[in-house]
Structure 1
């Protein structure tokens, strides 16, 4: 082996060894205990813990971020031209719990000091969020966000199938309209028509109900892309209410 080849071979081995040591140190970080012993390594490559919510009963007195707060934020503010992961207007990303807490100016237990809450309740039409021409959040939506902050702005997770569900008396105005407003409005409003679809009026929703696409998408049935797109599935009770409304003729009640 020539002198040049020996030198190149040595450098290559050193580079590989260095890369391996860095990679392993990132994957499993060991630390020393108070007595100097090496503690078990921590796997820092795991971003999210495994989903262990199956069977965990949901409390009816708790506001659940993932299916009560986040859908409102994503639908009204987290659109791709405002506060999604790509646009992140003013540095605010309303994509998931982590980004909301990091960029939304959340002050647990203090709605009036929370940036998001102050923006959605601002008196000035030029300052409030979402901005004109989009509608203000409804009073119900504002109250949900305020209640979540007052409860500590936590991401309490549980099995949505454990939520008591009464689909026997489902109505268009009391049940379907709020569900669609929270989960679908951001992509299917008078200004944004994803896939050419608007879900604003009773006729819009009746059409989607009768052609099967409303239930098919929210339930993730074969042949349909699950909606809301890019979000967690709707709670089982929400899907059950939509299905019940459709099966009873999609009445404007």
Structure 2
């Protein structure tokens, strides 16, 4: 009834009206019946090598044991560059000769113009293998050894990754100068503290030179990053716990030339 009047529908109109109402009602029921509960958010306990999903508890991966068939940036390439190239007046952060800084993965890749997979097209590799000694890097210093050049070339050839590893073969029980201490010093310190003009007058390329720094306490203080000492290797990572244990044992035994 509208304003006192009763509305009447013709049979055909009533049938059409009921059909529309039924269609609307059915559609509404279908919408409601297709709704599903919202899925619970992930707990965040996924991730490779840990529980590093969003909102999780941890993350990251543990470096794999070092493989003799792989060149590693953190353990091999960067120490070579820091010890031989990232020096004051050359390619450290402050000097940045020719705009080249060789103190981190990003700076090596960008300013060293490293082309993953192609040593021959990488400026870094070209400069350390230059045949003209007036152009070869490190300029005015002892050239890199064949083994060091090969390590950098292999690293680039294998993709120039920012990779790292754990030295599972590090032995802190059977320690000698020739087999344990000297290789570490040669790899991580020799570029600065070797050759004809060692930095600070400290020559760590001979047993006598190393023993002198053991005697005055500066070797252990520097590599252990002890208070009051300049942390070494300069600009590089601290020696691993196993490497420090090797030095400690060798020094405690009297720093023999064995």
Q: Taking structure 2 as the reference length, what is the TM-score of the superposition?
A: 0.67
Which of residues 55, 61, 64 is equivalent to 1:58? 64
Which of residues 67, 89, 113 is equivalent to 1:81? 89
2:173 pairs with 1:173? no
Whether contact under 8 Å (1:129, 1:136) holds in the other structure is yes
CA distance in 1, matches of 2:173, 2:130: 38
CA change 1:200–1:60 in 2 (3 A) is closer
How far apart are 1:112 and its partner, in Å? Answer: 2.4
Larger Rg belongs to = 2
How far apart are 1:222 and its partner, in Å? Answer: 4.5
How far apart are 1:223 and its partner, in Å? Answer: 4.5
In the alignment, what sits opposite 2:190?
Answer: 185
CA distance in 2, matches of 1:149, 1:177: 26
How far apart are 1:125 and its partner, in Å? Answer: 1.4
2:226 pairs with 1:221? yes
How far apart are 1:247 and its partner, in Å? Answer: 2.5
Which of residues 199, 202, 212 is equivalent to 2:207? 202
Q: 1:87-123: CA deviations, max 9, x gaps?
A: 2222211111110000112111222222212221222
Q: How many residues align?
A: 198
CA distance in 2, matches of 1:147, 1:237: 26
Structure 2: 5+ residue stretches without partners: 1-57
SS of the residue aligned with 2:226? coil
CA distance in 2, matches of 1:243, 1:99: 34
How far apart are 1:73 and its partner, in Å? Answer: 0.4
Which of residues 131, 139, 152 is equivalent to 2:146? 139
Give matches, 1:1-253, under 5 Å: 56-61=62-67, 62-132=70-140, 134-157=141-164, 160=166, 163-189=168-194, 190-194=196-200, 196-253=201-258
CA distance in 1, matches of 2:76, 2:244: 14
In the alignment, what sits opposite 2:46?
Answer: none
Q: Taking structure 1 as the reference length, what is the TM-score of the superposition?
A: 0.68
Whether contact under 8 Å (1:67, 1:234) holds in the other structure is no
How far apart are 1:146 and its partner, in Å? Answer: 1.9
Structure 1: 5+ residue stretches without partners: 1-50
How far apart are 1:192 and its partner, in Å? Answer: 4.6
CA change 1:95–1:168 in 2 (3 A) is same
CA distance in 1, matches of 2:90, 2:228: 31
CA RMSD across the alignment: 2.5
CA change 1:58–1:222 in 2 (3 A) is farther
Whether contact under 8 Å (1:210, 1:246) holds in the other structure is no
CA distance in 1, matches of 2:220, 2:185: 12
How far apart are 1:215 and its partner, in Å? Answer: 2.2
